[in-house]
Amino acid sequence: MSSELGRLIAELLVVRASGFLGDHQRRYPRWELANAELKSLLELGVGGVILLGGSCAEVGLRTQQLRQWVGHPLLLCADVEEGVGQRFEGATWLVPPLALGQLHRSDPKRAMALAERYGRCTGLDARALGLNWVLGPVCDVNNNPANPVINVRAWGETPKTASDLAAAFTRGVQATGVLACAKHFPGHGDTSVDSHLDLPVISHNRGRLDAVELPPFQAVIAEGVAAVMTAHLMLSALDPERPATLSRPVLTGLLRQELGFDGLIVTDALVMEAIAGRYGAGEAAVLALEAGADLVLMPADARGALAAIEAAVAAGRLSESQLRRSAERRREALAQATTASSNGPEAMHGPGRAMEPDGVLALELVQATLQVQGGPWIPSAGGVNLVRCDNALSAPFLPLTAPALVIPEAAGLATCLIEARSPSPWSGDPQAPLALDRLPDGPVLVQLFVRGNPFRGSAGAGEPWAEVIRQLQAAQRLAGVVVYGSPYLWQSLQPALNPGVSAAYSPGQMPLAQQEVLDAIITTKQPSPTGFTD
């Protein structure tokens, strides 16, 4: 194969790297390339990098570095569905999209305006870091509360809500000159299997897809979304043999021809088990391009994928003209992005310059989606701050200074962390799940950080928190309940709560949300003799 063809093929790969500068800082070395290999692949012509991890200042330096390593424009992207601060410390961290989906029920006009501001904030923060592509909006309709992987990442639970808000977000992002990417086509909302772990199978017929799954994608395509990402799932009504990512009837027949989308089609990460567990890295890349994808995201073996694609061209499975058209789409997309130059992050006026997050929007979103019931709790000396999270060692929302820890500690409560898999506080009695004798005496404040997340395999619905609440109430030890994240858990706990119990729900899990929640349900003010407080 000619070097020209090799560079053409390389242009269609997007590989993963750490946002940190040093190899020793990589958090996920299994997936994040070492610098020497990353630089070598970029010099071969690889056309894109997806970044994860690092502070804003460091990611700004990283994007400058990547551009300096190559002589061609790069697509530089990140999964920042909840604001850039979700992934990169120091940027704006916003409530999950489903929070606005719930607001849309009562105030659709305000929800849409906030969704567009959400997109604009995300785009501006991305530009400040030197990114030119945001892997959002999630266009999946989360009509299955048990969905372990989409869940609060979706913009809505109905086609109308998801369509309105995803389109508004897309307008906001792309108005800043940053590319948006609708995902996961043709719809990952009604699944109970995480495609990071296995291959979901959806049995819906075409009529159901037209009514529920497809409208949000049609809405963002009409809005001019730059890219669409595929879903790793089986839709037997469209293709009984191959998952959507590798299916020509889905990508070419449905997305290109029927829906008329002529932008970039990018695969979801090919290292995910739904694909990697069934196909080799090279064959998966070839099948995706055969199906009609333009870009191959995170192949399990980048060099193996390059070799397999070259072999497929030589064998006549792939045509050079098809690959050239994909490369043209990539270049057309880059031309839309205002950060495609080699001058580095637009909003950084020097290496390491700090950026200012949009705290006004972040706070407005938290306050607009906060739910509080019952009167405020007045703590006395002693008690327990019972905090549940998936993994205490990997919880960016729970630094040592997190309000969920320091506010109760200041009120005299001892913190007890429960991880999702931790057996230590459980009694084994389904009617009285907590082993209260293992906890300090006094009132118990229950704080639950629960939401769907990739790689978890569940949305946390199987844990006995309603029984815990009843148990603590019966023992007259329940001080209050807070749910951060899952609206479904919050709704399921309502029947168990006695009237007047201090309780609150926030879709956000970040420290800003914790501060607002705890300020709302905990007070140190004692009532005056007249019945009024100061």
- Please tell me the predicted confidence (pLDDT) of residue 341: 36
pLDDT > 60? residue 351: no
pLDDT value, residue 455: 40
Q: Return the pLDDT at 197.
A: 58
Is the pLDDT score of 509 beyond 50?
yes
Q: What is the pLDDT of residue 504?
A: 98
Token pair for residue 169?
């977000």
- pLDDT, mean of residues 38-61: 96
Which of the residue ranges 372-381, 404-413, 453-462 would you say has the lowest mean pLDDT? 453-462
Q: Is the pLDDT of residue 346 over 60?
A: no
Burial (0-12, 13-18, 19+ Cβ within 10 Å), 438? exposed
Diameter of the chain by CA atoms? 88
Inter-helix orientation angle 3-10/35-44, to 10°: 120
pLDDT confidence of residue 453: 54
CATH topology of domain 370-521: Rossmann fold (3.40.50)
Please identify every residue annotated as catalytic: 196, 268
Fold of the domain spanning 76-293+308-336: TIM Barrel (3.20.20)
Question: For all residues of the chain together, what is the average pLDDT?
Answer: 89
pLDDT at res. 281: 83
Helix (H, G, I), strand (E, B) or coil at 18: strand
Tell me the pLDDT tens digit for each residue of 256-271: 999 999 999 999 999 8
- Cα(60)–Cα(351) distance, rounded to whole angstroms? 7
Integer Cα distance of 453 and 389 in angstroms: 12
User: Residue 227 forms beta bridges with which residues?
Assistant: 181, 264
Structure tokens at 509: 């899990």
**Position with higher pLDDT, 514 vs 2:** 514
Written as one letter, the residue type at 258 is E
Distance CA 251, CA 230 (A): 8
Domain boundaries along the sequence of the chain:
76-293+308-336, 370-521
The residue type at 5: L
Torsion-angle region of 414 (φ positive above 0: left; ψ -120 to 50: alpha; else: beta): beta
Q: Which of 446, 431, 450, 445 is nearest to 488 (CA)?
A: 450
Which of the four pLDDT bands, split at 50, 70 and 90, describes residue 94? very high
Q: Which of 13-17, 83-87, 295-299, 350-354 has the lowest mean pLDDT?
A: 350-354
Residues 418 and 328: their CA atoms lie apart, in Å, by: 51
What's the mean pLDDT in 369-382?
Answer: 90
* Residue 296 confidence (pLDDT) above 50: yes
Pick the closest to residue 223 from 265, 165, 184 (CA basis). 165
Per-residue H/E/C for 368-427: HHCEEECCCECCCCCCEEEEEECCHHHCCCCCCCCHHHHHHHHCCCEEEEEECCCCCCEC
Radius of gyration of the chain (CA): 24
Residue 347 structure tokens: 């909003």
Compute the average pLDDT of residues 471-495.
Answer: 96
Pairing of strands 371-373, 502-506: antiparallel
What Cα–Cα distance (Å) separates residue 189 from each residue in 165, 185, 333?
15, 10, 27
Q: The sheet that has 48-52: what strands, in order across it?
A: 133-134, 75-78, 48-52, 13-18, 296-297
Of 357-371, 441-455, 457-471, 511-525, which gets the smallest average pLDDT?
457-471
